[in-house]
């Protein structure tokens, strides 16, 4: 019996030593990670992000490498917003109706005389406020950055309209060329926005918010319903204040149908391009 007790004591001592060594290794690893840390932000895990907005959040430590990645993503998003703004500008110049997301701002532009960029900022800020009302405590403050993104998009839209101001199609087929060019550019911008995966425009944010309230409805179907609601509001505003149909025509229908389809195809090219930009080391490792 004494021999057995001695062996048990030796085993317990060995286990305690192993635990001490493991704790020391974890402590050293934590110190090394802290030296590389430059920023700490609140993010959702993958499961919570799919059910926007997250009910519970956790802190994720971002190293210098992560900051470089998110800087690249932000630049990618800005490029997408610039491309999208020119798409909106060409759609407006086509005079066949704008895309559903731009229909309300364009009608307000006609009613008030404010620039399309300013009305875009006003409308999208209102959409963010609507998300807060709908989600209440489930709305995460990080989503307020939608206002910043929409503000940038509004000013870029005014810039794009300034650039194409001298261009004016005179024939119906020319209008359709401008309309199709606008659709392709908007779809390209949307693909850049999706690939960047930083923050969405308020229109997509509203769709995600509605998906949170109605989880059984898929995003694609909810997006169509939200777009239809925006077109209905634009038509109502036009008839109430202008007593005629404005900003909504055959081009609006074409945009509603083809922007999503074209963007889906472009994702097959733009998403791998973005991944090579965001994760250059991983791409180099795959090649080797």
Pair 21, 157 in one domain: no
- pLDDT tens across 212-252, in order? 999 998 877 888 888 889 999 999 999 999 999 888 899 99
Q: Which pLDDT belongs to residue 88?
A: 94
Pair 108, 171 in one domain: yes
Tell whether pTM > 0.85.
Answer: no
Is position 55 within any domain? no
Pair 153, 212 in one domain: yes
Pair 24, 79 in one domain: no
Is position 64 within any domain? no
Pair 26, 141 in one domain: no
The number of angstroms, rounded, from the C-alpha of 169 to the middle of its chain's C-alpha atoms is 32
What domain count does the chain have? 2
Q: Which pLDDT belongs to residue 283?
A: 58
Pair 106, 247 in one domain: yes
Is position 94 within any domain? yes
Joined tokens for residue 226? 């939200």
- pLDDT tens across 18-47, in order? 544 544 554 444 444 433 433 333 333 333
Q: 2 exposed, middle or buried (CB, 10 Å; 0-12, 13-18, 19+)?
A: exposed
Is position 136 within any domain? yes
Q: Which pLDDT belongs to residue 1?
A: 47
Pair 250, 123 in one domain: yes
* Nearest one of 274, 136, 254 to 196, comparing CA atoms: 274
Q: 132 exposed, middle or buried (CB, 10 Å; 0-12, 13-18, 19+)?
A: middle
Is position 214 within any domain? yes
Is position 185 within any domain? yes
Pair 162, 228 in one domain: yes
Pair 15, 99 in one domain: no
Q: What is the DSSP string of 97-151?
A: ---HHHHHHHHHHHHH---HHHHHHHHHHHHHHHHHHHHGGGS-GGGGHHHHHHH
Q: Extract the residue ranges of the chain whose pLDDT is less than 70.
A: 1-62, 64, 281-288
Is position 66 within any domain? no
| Owning domain of residue 175 | 71-287
Pair 197, 86 in one domain: yes
């Amino acid at each position: 019996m004494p021999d057995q007790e001695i062996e048990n004591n030796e085993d317990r001592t060995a286990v305690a030593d192993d635990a001490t060594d493991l704790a020391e290794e974890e402590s050293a690893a934590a110190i090394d990670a802290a030296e590389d840390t430059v920023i700490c932000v609140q993010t959702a895990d993958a499961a919570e992000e799919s059910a926007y907005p997250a009910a519970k959040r956790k802190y994720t430590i971002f190293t210098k490498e992560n900051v470089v990645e998110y800087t690249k993503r932000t630049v990618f998003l800005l490029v997408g917003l610039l491309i999208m703004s020119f798409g909106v500008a060409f759609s407006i110049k086509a005079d066949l109706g704008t895309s559903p997301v731009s229909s309300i701002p364009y009608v307000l532009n006609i009613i008030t005389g404010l620039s399309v960029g300013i009305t875009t900022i006003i409308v999208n800020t209102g959409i963010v406020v609507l998300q807060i009302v709908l989600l209440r405590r489930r709305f995460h403050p990080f989503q307020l950055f939608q206002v910043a993104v929409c503000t940038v998009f509004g000013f870029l839209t005014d810039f794009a309209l300034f650039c194409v101001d001298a261009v004016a199609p005179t024939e119906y087929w020319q209008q359709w060329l401008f309309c199709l060019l606008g659709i392709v550019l908007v779809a390209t911008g949307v693909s850049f926005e999706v690939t960047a995966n930083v923050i969405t425009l308020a229109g997509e944010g509203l769709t995600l918010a509605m998906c949170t309230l109605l989880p059984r409805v898929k995003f694609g179907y909810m997006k169509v319903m939200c777009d239809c609601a925006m077109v209905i509001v634009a038509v109502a505003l036009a008839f109430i204040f202008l007593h005629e149909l404005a900003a909504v025509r055959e081009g609006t229908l074409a945009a509603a149908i083809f922007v999503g389809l074209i963007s889906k195809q472009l994702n097959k090219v733009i998403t791998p391009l973005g991944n090579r930009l965001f994760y250059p080391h991983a791409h180099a490792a795959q090649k080797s």
